[in-house]
Amino acid sequence: MGCSVCLWLVVSFCRVWGMGRGTRETVLGTLGKATVLWIPQEFQNLTQSFGVATWKRDTADPHSKEVLLKYMNGNYTNYAPSQNHFHSSNFSLEILSTKRQDQRLYEYIISKDAKEKVWQIQLEVYEPVSKPDIQVLSWALANDSCTVTLNCTAARGDNVSYSWTGLEASSSSPCAHNGSLLHLSYHLNATSLACACTASNPVSSSAVTFNSSACSFEQRGSASPELNLVLVVVPVVVVLVLIGVFTALRVGRLWKHTPPPEDSEVRTIYSQVQRVEKQKIPCSPPGTEHPSCTTIYAAATGLPPDTAQAPGRIQHSPRAETPTPRGCSPLSQSPDAEPMTVYASVTLPKI
């Protein structure tokens, strides 16, 4: 009887304080969101009884650990307050914004004298799944039946899995399938057939529906954004290019046949000069540097016979001779000699 009691005490002691590193559980965290690390009720009671506990986590160095928080008799010290929040009511630790590097092994340790009780939590971090897209890879029409190959993909998410189901929730539905690819065959009269693709991972899921209303690449309610963009943008670009080419050709043709503006009128003046050749005489006076030159004499007629001589004016003989320079031939000019006449005419063209 005494041995049985001793054995029960030993087992109870081991169950409370443990003989190894303690019990481990796995917690799933969502990337970018808050994650709470809970401890079981048993550890909460022990913490209130003994009043000493510590939150730690593993580091890249297997021989060292990072201390996150220390609790003692109602008071605590948070060593990373910008990253973690401690709930003193249940001694849980909340990671405010979960990151990839937070995927570690966490430990909650209760200390009593020389012994410790440890609760271990393995945190796994996942990126949530984005809404999937359904793409029609191929289709064929034969004997009033349509055969379509569909591919369901999600752009974001960790460890994503895919499944197909029918909206009628029947296990015999042609849509029932696991995996991203679905080979679907249906009669053209089955206009109500609809298949839903669900993309999921351990922390999230999202679904999209394919409607079998047409046997083609058309997808109602789940068309690929890239396909829609191509179908809309390409025709618009082609039309704009054709309009630009037509406009450029028409503008060039109009420019070629357009007359000059009225305000840019051009006038041309024609002139005609007739010259009566006269005898050239050397005219350089004595002592000049130029041995010979040509002088143009303008002949003027005398005063009319009935005009009296102005008072105080010296009357010059009309036959006064000009000294002949050396080397120049004398020129006799008859009073009746005709003067050299220059004719100029200007003709304005008619516009």
Segment 271-303, tens digit of pLDDT: 555 555 555 444 444 544 444 444 444 444 444
First-residue to last-residue Cα distance in the chain:
143
Band of residue 263 on the pLDDT scale cut at 50, 70, 90 = low
Question: What distance in Å separates the CA atoms of residue 192 and residue 145, rounded to the nearest whole number?
Answer: 14
What's the pTM value of the predicted model, to 2 decimals? 0.55
- What mean pLDDT is predicted for residues 90-98? 97
Instruction: Name the helix (H) or strand (E) containing 256.
Output: helix 225-257
User: Which residue would you say has higher pLDDT here, 250 or 91?
Assistant: 91
**Strand pairing category for 177-178 and 181-187:** unpaired
Q: What are phi and psi of 310, to 5 degrees?
A: -65, 140
Band of residue 160 on the pLDDT scale cut at 50, 70, 90 = very high
Question: What distance in Å separates the CA atoms of residue 35 and residue 101, rounded to the nearest whole number?
Answer: 13
Give the count of beta carbons closer than 10 Å to the beta carbon of residue 284: 16
Minimum mean pLDDT range among 104-113, 262-271, 325-334 = 325-334
Measuring CA to CA, which residue among 112, 126, 110 is closest to residue 56? 110
What are the pLDDT digits (tens) for 236-259?
A: 888 888 888 878 887 776 666 655
pLDDT at site 328:
42
Measuring CA to CA, which residue among 193, 217, 222 is closest to residue 132? 222
For residue 230, is pLDDT > 60? no
Burial class (CB in 10 A: 0-12, 13-18, 19+), 49: exposed
Question: What distance in Å separates the CA atoms of residue 26 and residue 37, rounded to the nearest whole number?
Answer: 10
Question: What distance in Å separates the CA atoms of residue 216 and residue 203, rounded to the nearest whole number?
Answer: 35
Question: What distance in Å separates the CA atoms of residue 185 and residue 183, rounded to the nearest whole number?
Answer: 7
**Strand pairing category for 177-178 and 270-275:** unpaired
- What mean pLDDT is predicted for residues 213-233? 52
Question: What distance in Å separates the CA atoms of residue 206 and residue 243, rounded to the nearest whole number?
Answer: 44
Query: Within its chain, how far is the Cα of 77 from the centroid?
Result: 48
Question: What distance in Å separates the CA atoms of residue 43 and residue 119, rounded to the nearest whole number?
Answer: 8
pLDDT at site 21:
55
| 8-state DSSP, 157 | -
Q: What is the mean pLDDT of the chain?
A: 74
